[in-house]
Amino acid sequence: STITRFNPTVVGGRDVEWVHTSSSSEQIYERVTYIETKPVWPLKARDFVCRVRYEKVLPNSSSSLSSKSSFCSSSSPFELIVNSATTHPNAPPLRGLVRGRLRGLHLMEPVEAPGNPNSRVATTDDKVGQQPAAVRCLYTCIHEIDPAGLAPRRLVNWFAVRRPRQYCALVKALAEAIYADAMAAVADTRNAGQDEGRVLDPEAAVARYGPTASLGR
């Protein structure tokens, strides 16, 4: 799955339950997911059950988050993923694993900047348009993990310092690879003369041609 490409401590997992709600001004996806992680000597392997809420809020929406004053400074749409520890009857504790607790958030917001003349949007009619803003985003990640069991504080602190750096570096590399693949697919589509008359922007390209599993999985 996609998560193992940027979080090598994860052995596997599954979505236990999906809930989906949306409106004209916002998109909300919520699921309960189960994750199992590798054992770290001398500790046992851990597993977690999390409620994952994904929300994409458009400007001027009725959402309580639309002001974004507490989250980000951009006036553009932003995406927020919130994780919280939970329980589920279809994900009971398993023998040999220690059930930990995980909560945190992932915030993705565009970095607004003056139009970059070297940054272009591909179109199927061979016209090239200048993008109104740089193709960048600001990614903020906050995690709080309770490994439970008899985990020594020194070992927990060691991971707390080093793992986030590794995690963010792998997320950045994966996001760049997904974006590059999507842009290559857009170029191939344009050259083949498909989707005539439509402008294929990067966000649509990632949604259409990128991996079926999102970074949130």
Phi, psi of 199 (to 5 degrees): -90, 120
pTM of the model: 0.65
If one counts every other C-beta atom within 10 angstroms of the C-beta of residue 41, the result is 6
- Backbone phi, then psi, for 208, in 5-degree steps? -90, -40
For the chain, how are helix, strand and coil distributed in percent, rounded to 5? 25, 35, 40
Q: What is the rounded distance in angstroms from the CA atom of residue 65 to the CA atom of residue 59? A: 10
Tokens 């799955």 correspond to: 1
How confident is the model at residue 60, as a pLDDT? 57
- 86-120 pLDDT, tens digit per residue, is 999 999 999 999 999 989 998 888 776 555 544 44
- pLDDT for residue 74: 52
Q: What domains are defined for the chain? A: 3-113+134-178 (3.30.530.20)
Low-confidence ranges of the chain (pLDDT < 50): 64, 66-70, 117-134, 199-200, 202, 205-206, 209-217
